[in-house]
Amino acid sequence: MAFAVVEFQAFKDNYNRFIIKELAVVGGSLNCQVLFRPPYSITQLNDKMRRTARWLTRHHGLHWDDGSITYNESLISALCIPFKIIYTKGREKAEFLREFHPNVCEIAGPSISYHSDVECILGDHERCAVSAAHTLNHYLSSSLHESGQYELEDGERLVTVVPGAERTRRSSNRQVCNEIQ
């Protein structure tokens, strides 16, 4: 499969590392949303991270104890690996996902306007990861369809992805990549 958009909502541990709560992978025929159980009790978080967790609960509606699947980084890898490229919005998310896939690119695009017609495990949850993933997937697909290319950030470079076998051009601050379809 050519590409997928991976989005997630997460808490952070005492070392400021992500603990994914809700994971969404949208690409090709795959439309996956996973709600992970926490790897340990919230009481093991320090005061700062517990306050952050409470803020995330108020803002995103996710609770530390929500979830039906045991937190499993192997599952995250397994869901990402079938794709040639993984896209996500946000540098921190892109850096995190590079632990699970060798080719992760940050999307440089619009603010996310969530799809209201996407079914979310959490019911009427307005900011779910699957809604964001569908929105970004639609953005990438339509940008590619309309112009034949789209732009995204990859680390510190601006990358333009073009379909098919067009030649790759590079300069010091801009790169054009071929997307395998």
- Over the stretch 128-163, which tens digit does the pLDDT of each residue have? 888 888 888 887 877 654 444 544 444 444 444 444
- Kindly tell me if the per-residue pLDDT of 178 is higher than 90: no
- Over the stretch 51-104, which tens digit does the pLDDT of each residue have? 999 988 888 788 999 999 999 999 999 999 999 999 999 899 999 999 999 999
Identify the band that residue 164 occupies on the pLDDT scale cut at 50, 70 and 90.
Answer: very low
- Kindly tell me if the per-residue pLDDT of 180 is higher than 60: no
- What pLDDT is recorded for position 128? 81
- Over the stretch 20-58, which tens digit does the pLDDT of each residue have? 999 999 998 888 999 999 999 999 999 999 999 998 888
Are 27 and 137 spatial neighbours (Cβ–Cβ below 8 Å)?
Answer: yes
pTM listed for this prediction:
0.76
